[in-house]
Chain A
Amino acid sequence: MPIVSRGFGGRRRQPSVGLLPPGQYIVDDFPVLTAGPTPHTSLDDWDFTIVDETGSQVARWTWPQFRALPADSITVDIHCVTKWSKLGTDWTGVSVDELLDGIETSAAYVVAFADGDYTTNFPLADVLDGQAWVAFGYNGADLEAEHGGPARLLVPHLYFWKSAKWVRGLRLLNEDEPGFWEALGYHNYADPWREQRYWGD
C-alpha cells in the first residue's frame, strides 16, 4: 500500500465529472509515449497501402495523392491506457471510410501497421462509420514526428495506443490478429468506458 506523499499533487488537473472514462485524469501537455526511436520516413518515400484478406494490395497512395483526398477537421477526446486524457483535441485527417471506399472485402478484422514494426488490431466495424481517421494535422499545424507525424491513425473511441503513430497501412483480415501490445497483456478491444486496459478486464 503506497504511503501518501505529503503535499504532492502531481501534474494533472482535477477531472470534470461526467466527461472522463473511469480511472482517467486530464493533462494539459501532450505526453509522448513510444516503443522505439522516432522513425523518419521522408515524404518522398511515404506511402499508405491497403492489403485485403487475400493478401493483395488493393489501394496505395503516395503523400501527394493522400493529401489530395478530402479531409475532415474533427475535435475529439483522447484517452491513454496510462491514465491521461486530453479533451477537445483538434485534428485534421482523412477518414478511414474514405480510404476504404470502393474496396470490396468480406474481412471482419483489420490490422494497422506502422513504421518501426508496430501493429494494432480492430474489428473492421470499429474503423468505419466516422470512427477513425488517418490524421496529418494536430492543433492547426502539421503533426509532429514525436506525435506520429507525418500521419497517424486516430481512433478516439478506444484507448490511444490503438491510434498507431507513423501508420503506413491497413491489412484486412478474416481472423483477428492481436497487435504489438494486444499480444502482451493489453486488452484486445480496449474500450476506455468499460476500462478494458488488460486481458480479462
Chain B
Amino acid sequence: MRWLVTTVAETVPETVDAVSLRLDVPDWPGHRAGQHVDVRLTAEDGYSAQRSFSIASPPGAARLELTVVRIDDGEVSPYLTTVVEVGDQLELRGPIGGYFVWEEADTRPVLLVGGGSGVVPLMAMLRHHAALNHQAAMQLVYSARTQHDILYRDELDGLVDAHRAVTITLTRESPSEWSGRRGRVDSDLLSDSGWPPTHEPRCYVCGPTAFVEAVANDLVAIGHEADNVRTERFGPTGGG
C-alpha cells in the first residue's frame, strides 16, 4: 500500500469545528463503506505526523471525502480544518480496513451507532445504502453533544425513508426547540431505536473509545451476539 499524493478540490464547513475535505485522488482503487485512510503531514524539516480518518464518501463518489473534527490541542486536526486550502496536496494511503465495512451483498438489518466524529464511517454506509436504493433496513443512532455539533444534519433528514431511520440524541445541551432525544446512548435507547437480537442485525459502533466500549457492552447485554457487533474505536479523544 503506497502513499498517494492527493489534491484538495473542495473544503466544506460542516459545523463550527468540522470541515469536510473533498480530494481528487489519481488512481484511487475504489473503497468500501466504512474503510479509512491514513493521512501523513510532513513539515519542511522532515518531521511528520500521521492520523487515520474514516472515508465519508460512499464507494463510487467522484471525490474522496474526509470529514475532520477539530480537536483543540490536536496536532493534525487543527491543520486540516483551519490551514488546508483548495489546491493543497495531502498524502494518504488506503483504503484500509476490511473488518469495519458494510457492503451491498449484506441483506441483514443494520444498526449504526456513532458518537461524535464516529458518525463519519457510518455516513459512508448510509450514503452507499441510499445510492444503491438498498432494501435492507438500516438504522442510525447518533450521539452529539449539542445541536451545533451534529454533522450532516440536513443530509441525514433527507436520507430518512422506508429503509433508513435516524435517531439523534444530544448529550450536553437540551434546547427547548429540540424535539429529538436527549441523554447519552444507553440500553433503553438502543432497544428503542434498534432491533431485538432475534433479528440478528449487524451492528457497527464507532466513536471515542469509552463510547464504543459502553455501547458494545450494552448491545451484548441486550442479547446481540458479540460477533454481530463490529467496533471502531477512535481513541480516547475521538481524534487528534
The answer to A–B direct touch (Cβ < 8 A) is yes
Assess whether A3 is in contact with B47, with CB atoms less than 8 Å apart: no
Cα distance, A107 to B44, chains bound together (Å): 48
Return chain A residues, CB-CB under 8 Å to B91: 2-3, 5
| Interfacial chain A residues near B47, Cβ < 8 Å | 10, 12, 25
* Contact yes or no, B75 A5, CB < 8 A: no
Is there contact, CB below 8 Å, between B79 and A8?
A: yes
Q: How far is the CA of A8 from the CA of B78 in the complex (A)?
A: 10
Chain B residues near A11: list those with CB within 8 A. 49, 75
Which A residues touch B5, using CB under 8 A?
3
User: Are A3 and B83 touching (Cβ within 8 A)?
Assistant: no
Give, as a whole number of angstroms, the nearest-CB distance from A8 to chain B.
5
Interface size class of A (residues with CB under 8 A): 10 to 19
Whether, in the assembled complex, B25 has its beta carbon less than 8 Å from a beta carbon of chain A, the answer is no
Interface string of B73-84 (1 = CB under 8 A from A): 001000100010
CB neighbours of A25 from chain B (8 A): 47
Is the interface on chain B under 10, 10 to 19, 20 to 34, or 35 or more residues?
10 to 19
Nearest B residue to A29, CB-CB = B73
CB contacts (< 8 Å) of A9 on chain B: these are 43
A7 near B42 (CB under 8 angstroms)? no
- Binary per-residue interface labels of chain A (1-26) against chain B in the complex, 1 for a CB within 8 Å, 0 otherwise: 01111111111100000000000010
Chain A residues within an 8 Å CB radius of B79: 5, 7-8
Q: Chain B nearest CB: distance from A195 CB in Å?
A: 15
Pairwise interchain contact B75-A2, C-beta atoms closer than 8 A? no
Whether the pair A2, B40 counts as a contact (CB closer than 8 A) is: yes
With both chains docked as a complex, state the minimum distance between the C-beta of A146 and any C-beta of chain B, in angstroms.
10
User: Which residues of chain A in 1-55 are interfacial with respect to chain B, using CB atoms and an 8 Å cutoff?
Assistant: 2-12, 25
With most chain B CB atoms within 10 A of its CB, the pick from A3, A6, A8 is A8
Shortest B4–chain A CB gap in Å is: 10
What is the CA–CA distance of A7 and B44 in the complex, to the nearest angstrom? 9
Interface centre among B3, B42, B90 (most CB of A within 10 A): B42
> Who on chain A is nearest to B48 by CB?
A2
**Which of B3, B83, B88 is in CB contact (< 8 Å) with A2?**
B3
Interface residues of A (CB under 8 A from B): 2-12, 25
Known: A4-B43, A10-B43, A11-B75. 8 other contacts (CB 8 A): A2-B3, A2-B48, A3-B89, A5-B90, A6-B88, A6-B89, A8-B41, A10-B49
Can you offer 25 A-B residue contacts whose CB atoms are under 8 A?
Answer: A2-B3, A2-B40, A2-B42, A2-B48, A2-B91, A3-B5, A3-B42, A4-B42, A4-B43, A5-B43, A5-B79, A5-B88, A5-B89, A6-B83, A6-B88, A6-B89, A7-B79, A8-B49, A8-B79, A8-B83, A10-B41, A10-B43, A10-B47, A10-B48, A12-B47
